[in-house]
Chains A and B, each alone.
Chain A
């Protein structure tokens, strides 16, 4: 299971003026802010001391004021057990707390205990995990958060209607490999208490897993691990108005229009090692076109100076403004889009010859493909399947290729193939950007003597079309992410030969890799497991089932009066709980 997102759709806006255009050469720096060098953003596990509050203060921050958050679309879900998207995880930190969470200092994330006193202790080789809740953690009405509330929240993930959330708690707690089988064993809180979670007292939780689970501390940071109080569970209404545990509470929420957060008086800073509470209020405004919201932020009018966006990115139409006007350029907040990696996926069933895939890798005009989408500001060229955002990540490049493509080398590689491919079909989302990338690939691969046939597909149907088992396409681009910053949900899902084509979209089948996955899944210690998985990733990459393209970068805007803005290294959007207003 992974997050996949469509590539940025460019919205056309035609306004006629009579201005002459300056060339990009006159801006001094070509292409604007390039992403920083590859640096591992290790989300290491913090100690009990790290988990104690209060959060490290943001330098120069002052309390007070109202921060505006603009976004073109509303979050799909607010019910913590239904949330399954980085931008919502990010925003929900304002009102929701989990067992563990990422403390971010200087752009580096560290996993620490949030409601829990630490990131969890495991015994029995990772089959039993114990958490103790902090003292003084409370609901917005002042009542203490108990282990029973956390248990109830996790029980909800088994319930009907909650399959939109991540499937991991049900799978792990029942030991079933798939979600439906897990739900057949336990059907949610209506079916009584779940025996696999013990609550010996009001502050202690003991998880019992049939198999060793190394990633429990990371899963405990997911929104699904938020407590829900049984008497406040309003069912579907909870998706609109969840009951707050964080520094803010939701006082008004008109869906797709507006949401107002005010300070939560029951939240105590000394219990929280992650969040701050500088502004008095947050006002979310939905439905504003991304370009309009961005222009307001740049101009500073109508509250734009105090605003940022939840997930809307800097519109390509404004690149020239932020590149040429230093004042506007300062307002761009850039950072890695969490653990996302974009890649050219090869259907390994249709292109089974590794030499052909090697030739494709050598001819792949990565730099040109990135150039037509906005250049280096949109991401850093990749050579790995895993993202630099992962635990203990290390750069490697088993199949070095020139970024602009090397047709001669590709021809030489192709000569070694058992049979040269006839034509290869490339499926793409039928958007202006998609069409341009398709032209780049047709041109680039064509120079190496590989005929690529571009096949435009309706953007809404794209994932279904390329993921279905009998999909007739050889190549397509995909941008996806692991569920948390360890490699545990990468190879064991996307390159497991037994997984369906909706998850293993490259249709990569290697029995040796499958056996390794089974062996590594029994390791109960996160770092040891990660190390083995990186070794396995290199085994997979020797077969080149997919061609990594880029580690995407997020570019958002913040108003000139907004301080403390950075892209959350795990969730890939401007971190809201660190913001303050300068005046």
Chain B
């Protein structure tokens, strides 16, 4: 992530008005396409129950098992291409016989909920820590450096693999299922606990150089409080950095969440989840390759669109880039 050295524009800007960020992103053709795909996914996620109701299926019912003739004795869809038909547009899940289309739709919600929550928390934490430490310097800076090193060295994946059974057995009553919110919360917390460090580190560097600049020095000389300096002078200058970080963090978290589900420590049944769909797809790949295609392509598109959007945002905010 490039450290940016834009200077806060205080007061009304003379000359022609700067085009808005959105307009600048859309001006880039790739950015426009990426934004369209991202918005489409968001819309699908929001409208999932509506679409499912119109389509007449839900993601939890075992259609293939309840209706004879859809799945073979061994659980493979009877129709070619994963059981795609006018009834089941994307086919049926081998084994349980759930509807693939609604699973995918509701899967977006799982991915996005976790990714947005984790991106929000990491960004907030990163800003708080990065700006504060960068501005304060001294002992706070050294302590932070140590903490960052420890957290960066932490094996996140191993931690998740290790704590998920502990949470199951210690925090959940033996006769109750682990509530969905707890699974989501654990994932968001673990992602957040380790995800804020890179942003905080880069912000610390930016703020360190910013605080020596004239406009900050003059604000301090005029007797501005620390709070004022941080909020009014420094934060506006790291805003673009934040935006870029957040847009890049979302697809990273979506991919990580899918990877965890693939390994069996993510969100559990029956909450629809892309990672689990991909894992199942790889198991049944030989008998029903179609089943792997849908979640695979969806995840690829989704992560790609978000990454491209992140690039477009970064380019749009880069003052060195000719517009």
Q: Does A217 contact B (CB under 8 A)?
A: no
On whether the beta carbons of A320 and B286 are closer than 8 Å, the reply is yes
Interface string of A461-491 (1 = CB under 8 A from B): 0000000000011100000000000000000
On whether the beta carbons of A371 and B74 are closer than 8 Å, the reply is yes
B residues less than 8 Å from A10 (CB atoms):
283
| Total A residues in contact with B, Cβ cutoff 8 Å | 55
User: SS class of chain B's interface: helix, strand, loop or mixed?
Assistant: loop
Quote the shortest CB–CB distance from A13 to chain B (angstroms): 7
With A317-B286, A439-B270 as given contacts, are A376 and B81 in contact (CB-CB < 8 Å)?
no
| Those of B168-189 within 8 Å (CB) of chain A | 168, 174-177
| Those of B107-137 within 8 Å (CB) of chain A | none
On whether the beta carbons of B62 and A443 are closer than 8 Å, the reply is yes
On whether the beta carbons of A371 and B77 are closer than 8 Å, the reply is no
Interface string of A10-52 (1 = CB under 8 A from B): 1011111101111111110011101000000000000000000
B residues less than 8 Å from A265 (CB atoms):
none
On whether the beta carbons of A439 and B96 are closer than 8 Å, the reply is yes
Interface string of A509-538 (1 = CB under 8 A from B): 000000000000000000000000000000
On whether the beta carbons of B62 and A14 are closer than 8 Å, the reply is no
With A10-B283, A317-B283, A371-B95 as given contacts, are A24 and B76 in contact (CB-CB < 8 Å)?
yes
Complex Cα–Cα for A316 and B177 (A): 30
A residues less than 8 Å from B264 (CB atoms):
430, 432
A residues less than 8 Å from B95 (CB atoms):
371-372, 436
On whether the beta carbons of A31 and B74 are closer than 8 Å, the reply is yes
B residues less than 8 Å from A7 (CB atoms):
none
On whether the beta carbons of A438 and B72 are closer than 8 Å, the reply is no
Stretch at the interface among B7-15, B36-44, B208-216, B288-296: B288-296
On whether the beta carbons of A21 and B71 are closer than 8 Å, the reply is no
A residues less than 8 Å from B268 (CB atoms):
435, 456
On whether the beta carbons of B72 and A320 are closer than 8 Å, the reply is no
Q: Does A54 contact B (CB under 8 A)?
A: no
Count of chain A to chain B residue pairs whose CB atoms are closer than 8 Å in the complex: 135
Quote the shortest CB–CB distance from B271 to chain A (angstroms): 11
Quote the shortest CB–CB distance from B162 to chain A (angstroms): 11
Q: Does A4 contact B (CB under 8 A)?
A: no
On whether the beta carbons of B285 and A15 are closer than 8 Å, the reply is yes
Interface size class of B (residues with CB under 8 A): 35 or more
Quote the shortest CB–CB distance from B269 to chain A (angstroms): 5
**Chain A residue at minimum C-beta to C-beta distance from B278:** A14
B residues less than 8 Å from A317 (CB atoms):
283, 285-287
A residues less than 8 Å from B65 (CB atoms):
365, 368, 371, 440, 443
Complex Cα–Cα for A34 and B76 (A): 15
Q: Which of B79, B177, B287 is within 8 Å of A25, CB to CB?
A: B79
Quote the shortest CB–CB distance from A15 to chain B (angstroms): 6
List 18 A-B residue pairs with CB atoms under 8 Å apart, sorted by A's residue number: A12-B279, A12-B282, A14-B282, A20-B80, A20-B81, A21-B81, A21-B289, A23-B78, A32-B74, A368-B65, A371-B71, A371-B73, A371-B95, A432-B280, A439-B62, A439-B96, A443-B62, A454-B269
A-B interface, 5 closest residue pairs, ranked by CB to CB distance from nearest: A31-B73, A25-B78, A472-B174, A375-B74, A24-B72
Residue positions of A touching B, CB distance < 8 A: 10, 12-17, 19-27, 30-32, 34, 316-321, 323, 365, 368, 371-372, 374-377, 422-423, 425, 430, 432, 435-436, 438-440, 442-443, 453-456, 458, 472-474
Q: Told that A24-B74, A377-B73, A425-B175 touch, could you supply 9 new A-B pairs with CB distance under 8 A?
A: A24-B71, A31-B72, A365-B65, A368-B62, A438-B269, A443-B65, A453-B177, A455-B177, A472-B174
